[in-house]
Structure 1
């Protein structure tokens, strides 16, 4: 290992120790399940906003998205537009009502328990189905975060190219380190540890993602224009590379592609690790403050993420290909902060911003999975009179099991971060998004409609993305249409139709629904 690598590694070790210490400190404040899974519903505006957005913007923000823009130009930025719209709608439409409704509906600690209490499902069917979906899709989502961490380590500490034996060995070591550190502080501290670390990680991410493209652009355009710099690096038509409606190869961005990328915004309505932040905010006033912080954060971060890909295309000395494009932010930092030990250490701190993005998402996903397994599957189906101590233990075991499975999914160094995130995002958005919206805003929504819609959404994504139905191709490969578009639409239609065909909700349910608007909590 070179001296430069040792300096960067020191920055990483210091950062990870701080995260573990936070987990240890927060563990002392966990007295019951509500403390461990929701932090006692006591999040302030900054912690809630930064935690929600940091847990949302995983390693794909600093690796997957910049890599896609680096290869194909601004035409790939439609995903960012969709995510911005989704974030705004989620905070301004869903957050406050979900928080109040989960308190009134039996003080629900998880999304599955909210569904159960909202629809008075005494058989726990919707609780079990939704908790199972969480366990499946969050395993895939967690794998994407672990893969991001492993690629970060392999890119930094391996002298070999992607796919070489040394690279693969360092990738596995990085995977182990990322998984263990995330497990330790999540295991100890629960929701408070996750949200506190997310606040720190969110601030680190925003500093890194703003500073790096600004510095790179200033150096790049010091004695030439940006267009000239792009042309010098092989971009034949720089104007088209910077056009929202043109791909990097000069072909027009298709309508299907724009629809698919914008549809990422629909996923927010069904993301348990984001929705649970709304449930944990301590007051409606804090929600109002959190909205503004979160929207500003996401505008800055998504814009900067796209700029990293664009600027790096002209700035980087060594050009990247499909296999290495997701390391674009790492390579840019390495090229910016080189030469002496001080600069290299500063670069290491900025690289910790990538580690922050990875860890802030993985810890949230593991915690939501733990709550789903312990509160919804274990207490909901296996042992209904389980003590808080035993259910908490089951939740912690679930964290370990999901982490192990995600570890093995992420073992392949060639796995795509964007691909893994895309699959999980579509699964949650389709299965939960329509159910959450209708549960919150449509009085006529019924239990059978919610279960039918949930199952339709999840199965549609699986069929669309994984089963070859058209000449040996999946429906996604044949159409290039994102499964979330189809899954969300079908789930919404099925939920509404089945609800209308079902018996009307009881007076108890409709009275509770009507009472939400008049409740101040």
Structure 2
């Protein structure tokens, strides 16, 4: 059996499973509480793995391994940044948000932030616009990952690949809502963990072991490849390191991640979930960094650094095994956008009705599904006609939402309610400074882009706490 045939068969089987999940979970989706939070009955395994997968996926598999391949040792800073973000989320945010959302019956992050504030402050409107704008870029990056994978595996154009991946995601997200998203993301997360263990180990064995890797890396003919700061001047080096570490600050502000905390059934489930999630993060991020470094030794010239994952897979395994792994990871990448689609839909339907008369359950579900469909189409167009750099696009959306919502959420959970005025100012300032910092080449990816907006928004939010 050829590699292409194996991939096709595996893909078909996996897609049948996804479609079946969508159909079966549609029976458990009877109202908006089910559609957005699965009735608040998530157990530890599903919540931990699905939250981890929805916060990582294409960016981790392709972006982090590609960064390690291109940058060298300095990519190691991504490990404490991302694992630290997991720790911040699961030990500081999760227990408090789970309790607060249950007490207030909040379904979304925006509802937690904007609840009981006067309509004149338009917090829900501003939050919804920020979420929809940021997640549009985030979702399109997942479609890009699918397109790159299909085009690298089959004789199919990138544009067609994006459309195929998007169509599958649209179907099962529309059918099953939160339950479909959580279960498929759990499958995705397990596949990612398996790949992050198997593939780097195979690459390390091919190199000749860790000692050989250490001997070979200094021979890579790239300036600063063995430097933790890429041989930058001191001021630039500080900005580079802080910029990478600042990625961890974005975790609390991701609506598609923290909604899993709100869906947990109880504190006992949370305790088990955070252990699973931290272990997952350690395995996946260390594995992808190791893969990128081994890949540079094994495959010196790759035009697109974000394809090192697939180049290594195709060269290190037999056609059948490589086909199965490629197909599974392709499916995992494609299923990541579902969480972002669901959160964006909740922002543009549920959140914008915080101060309005509630519509019927049937109307709410219909509106949510229409928004999911329209956002998917917009993301497909952006993936086809926009830039093709997954790493940068994800970090842009990640940092923007992290600076807009993370400070407000943390201060709200630790210090109590924040005045509506301070909430709105902190949200707008964090988001705006993050976008401006990203848009300026000299500050893009530095602490000015990823840390300063977060810190300033936190100060404003804290000063606005109701004493």
TM-score normalized by the length of structure 2: 0.94
Alignment-derived partner of residue 187 in structure 2 = 200
- From 257, 260, 266, the equivalent of 1:277 is 260
Relative to structure 1, the CA distance from residue 155 to residue 251 in structure 2 (aligned partners, 3 Å threshold; closer, same or farther) is farther
Alignment-derived partner of residue 164 in structure 1 = none
Residues 148, 358 of structure 1: 8 Å contact kept: yes
- From 261, 276, 285, the equivalent of 1:302 is 285
- Give matches, 1:157-176, under 5 Å: 157-158=154-155, 170-176=157-163
1:440 aligns with 2:439: no
1:355 aligns with 2:330: yes
Report the alpha carbon displacement of residue 76 of structure 1 after superposing the two structures with TM: 1.7
Residues 134, 401 of structure 2: 8 Å contact kept: yes
- From 132, 141, 144, the equivalent of 2:141 is 144
SS in 1 for 2:301: coil
Relative to structure 1, the CA distance from residue 356 to residue 87 in structure 2 (aligned partners, 3 Å threshold; closer, same or farther) is farther
SS in 1 for 2:30: coil
1:179 aligns with 2:166: yes
Report the alpha carbon displacement of residue 144 of structure 1 after superposing the two structures with TM: 0.8
1:135 aligns with 2:132: yes
Alignment-derived partner of residue 456 in structure 2 = 490
Q: Which moved more, 1:293-302 or 1:405-414?
A: 405-414
Alignment-derived partner of residue 21 in structure 1 = 20
1:422 aligns with 2:402: no
1:407-452 Cα offsets, whole Å, 9 max, x none, are: 1111147520011101101111100000101111113621211111
Report the alpha carbon displacement of residue 265 of structure 1 after superposing the two structures with TM: 0.5
1:334 aligns with 2:321: no
Distance 1:281 1:336 in 2: 40
Distance 2:135 2:245 in 1: 22
Report the alpha carbon displacement of residue 480 of structure 1 after superposing the two structures with TM: 4.3
Distance 1:30 1:237 in 2: 53
Distance 1:328 1:9 in 2: 21
Residues 341, 376 of structure 2: 8 Å contact kept: yes
1:213 aligns with 2:187: no
Residues 139, 341 of structure 2: 8 Å contact kept: yes
Report the alpha carbon displacement of residue 288 of structure 1 after superposing the two structures with TM: 0.4
RMSD: 2.4
1:108 aligns with 2:106: yes
Distance 2:460 2:366 in 1: 37
SS in 2 for 1:254: helix
Matched residue count: 466
Report the alpha carbon displacement of residue 47 of structure 1 after superposing the two structures with TM: 0.5
Alignment-derived partner of residue 351 in structure 2 = 376
Distance 2:346 2:69 in 1: 38
Q: Specify the structure having the higher radius of gyration (Cα).
A: 1
1:12-33 Cα offsets, whole Å, 9 max, x none, are: 2221221111111111111111
SS in 2 for 1:137: helix
Q: Which moved more, 1:251-260 or 1:261-270?
A: 251-260
Query: What are the ranges of 5 or more consecutive residues in structure 2 without an aligned counterpart?
Result: none
Residues 200, 291 of structure 2: 8 Å contact kept: yes
Alignment-derived partner of residue 83 in structure 2 = 84
Alignment-derived partner of residue 423 in structure 2 = 450
Query: What are the ranges of 5 or more consecutive residues in structure 1 without an aligned counterpart?
Result: 159-168, 338-342, 467-472, 506-521
Residues 202, 356 of structure 1: 8 Å contact kept: no
Residues 53, 186 of structure 2: 8 Å contact kept: yes
SS in 2 for 1:225: helix
Residues 476, 482 of structure 1: 8 Å contact kept: yes
Distance 1:357 1:206 in 2: 11
Relative to structure 1, the CA distance from residue 99 to residue 224 in structure 2 (aligned partners, 3 Å threshold; closer, same or farther) is closer
Alignment-derived partner of residue 123 in structure 2 = 126
SS in 2 for 1:319: coil
Report the alpha carbon displacement of residue 178 of structure 1 after superposing the two structures with TM: 1.0
